[in-house]
Every structure is written in structure tokens, then in C-alpha cells.
Amino acid sequence: MQQPIRIAPSILSADFARLGAEVEAITAAGADYVHVDVMDGHFVPNITIGPLVVKALRPHSNKTFDVHLMIAPVDPYVPEFAAAGADIITFHPEAGPHAHRTVQLIKSLGKKAGISLNPGTPVDVVDYLLPNVDLVLVMSVNPGFGGQKFIPQALDKIAAIRRKIDAVSESQNGRPIDLEVDGGIAADTAPAAIKAGADVLVAGTASFQGGSARYAENIARLRQ
């Protein structure tokens, strides 16, 4: 069953010169999750931040830290991000040889586990992972950069995963599994993503545009 809509502003679009203040501002504005994009310049063509920055930001918000690891190999770094304060750790199945083992590692550290699907990653990758994960992230752009346009074909993938999640959740007495979408989410694309079945929207530019005085308005617009 689709859960209430939650908004996860991506700090990739925040002012990095004042990142702690930005996290505080987006928290005060009504964000549900704080989405942290971690890129390594290898798995994706960009470099962002590491666990030290996550640790530094942790005191600035009591919201769920939704940490998306776009790095390979991923397993060696999972414990560091867990210790730094991540609440959800999401990885790509292509980022290591044994996706199920990575899920087990994340859960063993007391964190929620997420699996992320790139635009070219088939939906059935999640079939044997869904009983154990807490979140599925559908990338509606190719990962690596903010500000890209939403890929419409992602809507079919969201709908297909919605059906899979509902079936697994029902078999596990209604255990919630987030269906998150990331990439090109704005006021004009959010309704279609929600209609397809997404219940967590990652939004960078759409959340942080206009400065901190507009953050609450931006988040409200996405939620509606």
C-alpha cells in the first residue's frame, strides 16, 4: 500500500559553503528525509562527499538521513556511513558482487537498507531482495549529476515496482517498504511519479531554489 508522501531534499543542490545551515533550514521547512548523494567519480561521473561530512551534518537535523551510495565497491564503506549517522543506506546492485550480502551488512549495523535501480537496470533485480529491504529507489535520470530532466519511462518502472512492493508487504503483514524516485522531480513531474506509486520524492533543485525563505513553499508544492 502506498504510504503518505514524503519529501527528501537532496543536499546536492544546497549551498555547500554553508551546508550545516542549509540542512537546518530544509529541516525547519518541513523536509521528511535529508537525502545525501555520495558519488565517487568511478561508479558515477562526479565526486561529492564522504562519511566525514555526513558525521558533521548529523547534529544539524533530527530527520532521517537517507544516504544514497553511488560508489563501487560499496561494501567497504557501509560501516563508515552507518557510524557517521546514516539512517537509510541505499546502494546499487551493480556496485558489488553480492547484493543480498550488502543488504545483510547494512541491516547488521542497525540501519535500513535500500536498493537503487538505474534507468537501464531491469525491474526483476529486486525480486529476491524485496523481502529484506526497506526502500527501493528508482532513478529517473542517469546518476551522477543534479539538474537533469525526468526520464518518462521511469513511470512504468515505478508502477511495476509498486505492484511488487505491495505483494511483498502484504505477505509480511503490511511491513512498509518505501518507493522512492530521484531525478528531475519538480512540481510538474511529481504528480505523475506519485500516481505511478512513488511515496518518497527526492528533489534537489526544486527544494533548494530561491533561497531558504522559499524552502517551505517549495516542499509544500512538491507534496501537493
Catalytic residue among 32, 66, 134, 182: 182
**Is 87 a known active-site residue?**
no
Q: What strand order describes the sheet that includes 64-70? A: 6-9, 200-203, 178-182, 135-139, 112-117, 88-91, 64-70, 33-39
pLDDT tens-digit series, residues 2-50: 899 999 999 999 999 999 999 999 999 999 999 999 999 999 999 999 9
More reliable by pLDDT, 91 or 224: 91
pLDDT of residue 148: 87
Count CA within 13 A, CB hemisphere, residue 155.
Answer: 13
pLDDT of residue 1: 82
182 is in an annotated binding site: yes
10 is in an annotated binding site: yes
Whether the model pTM is above 0.85:
yes
pLDDT of residue 147: 80
**Is 37 a known active-site residue?**
yes
Catalytic residue among 32, 37, 66, 199: 37
pLDDT tens-digit series, residues 168-190: 999 999 999 999 999 999 999 99
CB atoms within 10 A of CB 152: 11
Classify domain 6-223 at the CATH topology level: TIM Barrel (3.20.20)
Per-domain residue ranges of the chain: 6-223
pLDDT of residue 145: 80
85 is in an annotated binding site: no
